[in-house]
Structure 1
Amino acid sequence: MFDKILHPFAVAVAWVWVKIHDLLVAIGFGSGSGVAWILSIILLTIIVRILILPLFLRQIKSSRSMQAVQPEIQRIREKYKGKKDPVSQRKMGEETQALYKKYKVSPFASCLPVLVQMPVLFAMYRAIYAVKDLAAGTYHYADVEADRLGPITQSVAAEIDGSTVLGIPLSHTITSGDGPFGIAVFVILIIVMVVLQFISMRMSMTRNMPPSSDPNNPLVQSQKSMLYVMPLMYVFSGSFFQMGVLVYMATASVWALAQSYWTIKVMPTPGSPAYLELVERRQSKYQDWAKDYFARYDAERAGLPSAADDQSVIALNERTLAEVQAKAKAQRIASDFPETMTAGEKVTVYRNLANQEWTSLPDEMWMHGVREAVSKNAERRAATAQRERTKKMPREQRLREAQRQREEEERRQARRSSAQGAGDVSAEEIERRRQERRKARREQSKKKHR
């Protein structure tokens, strides 16, 4: 059953492998057995890694977003702590999913690169494993004899099987009888692969993870265990790998190390030592020019009218915004402010970045916080304006307006409860209760006027 599922992947890998080899031959490498088959495995590994880069970047963004929403997730869990009934559990799940949707977070995104790589690794293993049997004419899968694996026929398999790494054929394992030198080559490759994996994982754990306040945390202990368990797994499993698979794994380990180093330098995890260093570097680079720039801006602004809607002030802010955004964009500072913000308000944000200590990178997550703050300020201003308008109304009109606002808020709550699933209470029951509360308020109001 497993062979039947894996066979199409092995055929696909075989086609890509052979086409890469054909390309190498076309640009001057020798045909037949030789280095071109070794290089084709290395290039196949690199191509697979490049193809899954978008998934890797999505994994990083998802991990950062997940970390950003953790406080809100924790509040939801505290809200339903100790409530094990189905209704509470359902509502907790719905609120959590709504939070994921709001922040565009997928808790499963971090699994995608691994899920994509595993079929390729198994398929590569099966394709290389099949070479020896194909060359001997004894290949079969799922108990069915076959004379080829995609483009790899018996003659092509013989070419591959004749290709060697330091004299060891690609289809051989450490137990294939290549003598002490062959065993030494296998051992060295396995050690190189394990060391690269260990360095990559240790670099990520020490440089790209926030320090834990509780070293006895099971998650922290699990991560520390994986640092040593994963390399040990390669020590034991590596003895069963063919030379071709070891070439693939060693190349993947080099790529993983380079990828970890790049991640730490460019996209570190918030709160990690690497992230704090990056914040400091980016802040220093931005403020080196921004402090002097905004000092000149402040001097020019001081000579203009105090009113923010004066045309000369508006012109200054628009010109300043265009200049600052061009510079900020080059320094990867987010600039997609809400459309409701004026040029002067946007300039103020950039000016604050020039004079304040940064606590985070001014990236997409930072901009999300800016939008949230702008939205809340707009709501507060609207509420304040509404209260001021209400104060100026005659008494009867104020009472009607207050009644209207209460009814509107009740309708919003009813819709929210209905959308989220208000336990076993139907929408009709919610409306009935609202009408009862409304009736009770009317009666209470009549008693006050008697």
Structure 2
Amino acid sequence: MDSILHPIIVAFAWIWVSIYRALTFIGIPEGPGIGWVLSIVILTVLVRFAILPLYIKQTKSMRSMQVLQPEMQKITAKYKGKKDSVSRQRQSEETMALYKKHGASPYASCLPLLVQMPILFALYRVFYSVSQIMDGTYGYDALGPLNAALASDVVDSTVFGVGLSQTLSTTPGIGHKAVFIVLIAFLVGMQFLTMRLSMKKNMAPNPDPNNPMVRSQKTMMYIMPLMFVFTGFIFQMGLLVYMVTTTTFGFFQQVWVNRTMPNPGSPAFEDLLSHREAHFQKWAAPTFESYEKQYAALDGDEEAIASLQSETLASVEKHAGRQHIYRKFPDDWTISEKLGVYRTLALEPWKSIPDEIWMKQLVIAKASKEQVEAARKNRPKKLSREQRMRIAERERVEREAAEKRAQRNAKKSASSSSKGGLTPEEIERRRQQRRKESRNQGKKS
């Protein structure tokens, strides 16, 4: 694995040493000491911030999939018990059509995670390899600038008197072991709180406590922290500093997610929904009431109405941006349509947080409405009894007229036959030919 991730590991080594040198530049003492400990913390935080966009993308993808769950369940129920190949094919086609309609993908939430894992593992290997580089037992002589001399300085650095290369079993003295125990307890506690925040606040409650998924989640909430107890006993202090830093970052990251992009149906979602609804409507409700009074007073003046709508939209969008309401409407939406959306948010109870997913649902709903209207306009209208009678009478008159024309044509054909079988058209052609010949002879004479 190290050979595959070696370029990433070397890159992290360069960044780590660069951070250390930047710390010494601002006054941190060189050599073994606090500079290397702080550089581990700073590097870990920088990496977690760098992969934060991937985490956000993963979270949004998971939310999009959760929004589709009601429709997914309808498709599943529709084909429940049907095992034939045709039914399975249709179920797959309807499912993929649903994904395409909402712009979602079942794999979108997995890809960011697959990118994050090599990065975090490579960072872990940088810290893990320090003592091996110092001893000369690592597969390479150095990791970029991190040579044996610098690795020796890292190993000799301490946290509350405990060397970065020491483990709980190799640390002498009760006081130094207590440092390990305190950090392990802190690590386990932060991991437990992070998972509890995720499962209790950011997941929709399940009414069935015996549901296998619910029971599995509760088990994981206790098993995962216990795993850190065992790994903490074998971790070097440098790795423990890294794990404490990344777990603490993960805790605050989960707090931020709960407050900004919680999963639909979760307690955190309901709290954020009610908070943003009250905050927006406090300002927007009287604004739109005033707008409607001004609109009515203009009495159909199109130019003045257009000016009022533009001014109102600019003011509403300014406040909406401050209150985290998604404002990227499609380009083909009119000012009136945008104001209608904001008016609904201002005067009616919210059903969803107005974010990117909410906007996608609005666009889909508008497109569906337009399709229904177009189908309604193209649908033949139901005729009244009087209309049907008039149409029938008109068709009868047209039919009788056609029959009379056919009879007249038949009489003309019979008359032509009695004159030698010439048709009326042929008789007229010959007459015109004779007249033309007579005129030509007159000109010659």
TM-score by length of 2: 0.80
State the alpha-carbon separation in 1 of the partners of residues 54 and 391 from structure 2.
Answer: 61
Q: Is the 8 A contact 1:124 1:245 kept in 2?
A: no
Aligned to 2:296: 302
State the alpha-carbon separation in 2 of the partners of residues 245 and 169 from structure 1.
Answer: 11
The structure that has the greater radius of gyration is 2
CA-CA distance at 1:51 after TM superposition: 0.8
| CA 1:185–1:294: 2 relative to 1, 3 Å | same
Q: Is the 8 A contact 2:102 2:361 kept in 1?
A: no
State the alpha-carbon separation in 2 of the partners of residues 310 and 383 from structure 1.
Answer: 30
Structure 1 residue identity aligned to 2:50: L
CA-CA distance at 1:67 after TM superposition: 1.0
Structure 2 residue identity aligned to 1:354: A
Correspondence 1:221 to 2:215: yes
1:125-145 CA distances to partner (integer Å, 9 max, x unpaired)?
4333332233233x133xxxx
Q: Is the 8 A contact 1:13 1:120 kept in 2?
A: no
Q: Is the 8 A contact 2:162 2:171 kept in 1?
A: no
- Write out aligned runs for 1:218-257 (5 A): 218-257=212-251
State the alpha-carbon separation in 2 of the partners of residues 389 and 80 from structure 1.
Answer: 36
Structure 1 residues 30-39 or 84-93, which shifts more? Answer: 84-93
| CA 1:94–1:171: 2 relative to 1, 3 Å | farther
1:365-421 CA distances to partner (integer Å, 9 max, x unpaired)?
22222222322222232233324689799979xxxxxxxxxxxxxxxxxxxxxxxxx
Aligned to 2:193: 199
| CA 1:384–1:50: 2 relative to 1, 3 Å | same
State the alpha-carbon separation in 2 of the partners of residues 94 and 179 from structure 1.
Answer: 66
Correspondence 1:180 to 2:174: yes
| CA 1:266–1:125: 2 relative to 1, 3 Å | closer
Aligned to 1:366: 358
What SS does structure 2 have at the residue aligned with 1:140?
coil
State the alpha-carbon separation in 2 of the partners of residues 346 and 148 from structure 1.
Answer: 60
State the alpha-carbon separation in 1 of the partners of residues 119 and 333 from structure 2.
Answer: 49
TM-score by length of 1: 0.79
1:338-374 CA distances to partner (integer Å, 9 max, x unpaired)?
4554433332322222211112112222222222232
| CA 1:190–1:117: 2 relative to 1, 3 Å | farther
State the alpha-carbon separation in 1 of the partners of residues 313 and 115 from structure 2.
Answer: 44
- Write out aligned runs for 1:13-412 (5 A): 13-112=12-111, 114-137=113-136, 139-141=137-139, 146-305=140-299, 310-387=302-379
In structure 1, stretches of 5+ residues that fail to align are 397-450
What SS does structure 1 have at the residue aligned with 2:129?
helix
CA RMSD of aligned residues (A): 2.6
- Write out aligned runs for 1:418-433 (5 A): none
State the alpha-carbon separation in 2 of the partners of residues 12 and 264 from structure 1.
Answer: 33
Aligned length in residues = 388
CA-CA distance at 1:158 after TM superposition: 1.1
Same amino acid, percent of matched pairs = 47
| CA 1:353–1:125: 2 relative to 1, 3 Å | closer
Q: Is the 8 A contact 1:128 1:170 kept in 2?
A: no
Structure 2 residue identity aligned to 1:234: F
Aligned to 2:440: none
Q: Is the 8 A contact 2:58 2:113 kept in 1?
A: no
CA-CA distance at 1:200 after TM superposition: 1.2
Structure 1 residues 379-388 or 221-230, which shifts more? Answer: 379-388
Structure 1 residues 319-328 or 183-192, which shifts more? Answer: 319-328
Q: Is the 8 A contact 1:135 1:154 kept in 2?
A: yes
CA-CA distance at 1:78 after TM superposition: 2.3
